[in-house]
Amino acid sequence: EAGVAQSPRYKIIEKRQSVAFWCNPISGHATLYWYQQILGQGPKLLIQFQNNGVVDDSQLPKDRFSAERLKGVDSTLKIQPAKLEDSAVYLCASSFQGTPYGYTFGSGTRLTVV
């Protein structure tokens, strides 16, 4: 079974620029999660999709962050404009039907904002 694919692996941008991250979950996994992990902290959920609908985006900074999962498969997370405090690893995870027992994380995208 192929894992959760994410790209790019690393990204360096200047503040106020925009950036996008891509995630392709495990085939058949209806639930997709985007987490932000700042250095030295645990992952924090930004947004959760069930198929192509949003079920939780309560901690997504909506003035600068957006995410979509148009066909219920892969997803894109965008930041525009980026701030220095957005420097973090962005982890995508998927599970079969929203159960935490089957969470699988991708390798993450490390973003550095300078």
Partner 1 sequence: QKEVEQNSGPLSVPEGAIASLNCTYSDRGSQSFFWYRQYSGKSPELIMFIYSNGDKEDGRFTAQLNKASQYVSLLIRDSQPSDSATYLCAVPTLTQGGSEKLVFGKGTKLTVNP
Helix (H) or strand (E) holding 6: strand 5-7
Tally: H helices and E strands in the chain: 0, 11
13 alpha-carbon distance from chain centroid: 17
In the range 17-36, which residues lie near partner 1 by CB under 8 A?
31, 33
* 39 in contact with partner 1 (CB under 8 A): no
Stretch 82-101: interaction string toward partner 1, x if CB under 8 A: ---------x------xxxx
Query: Which residue, 22 or 103, has its beta carbon nearer to partner 1?
Result: 103
75 closest CA partner among 42, 47, 44:
47
* Cα distance between residue 37 and residue 72, in whole Å: 24
Asked whether position 108 contacts partner 1 by CB under 8 A, the answer is yes
Our CB check for partner 1 shows the closer of 80 and 112 to be 112
| 55-74 residues near partner 1, rule: CB under 8 A | 55-56, 58
* Closer Cβ to partner 1, 16 or 23, answer by number: 23
Smallest Cα–Cα separation from 91: which of 42, 56, 58?
A: 42
Smallest distance from partner 1 to CB 16, Å: 27
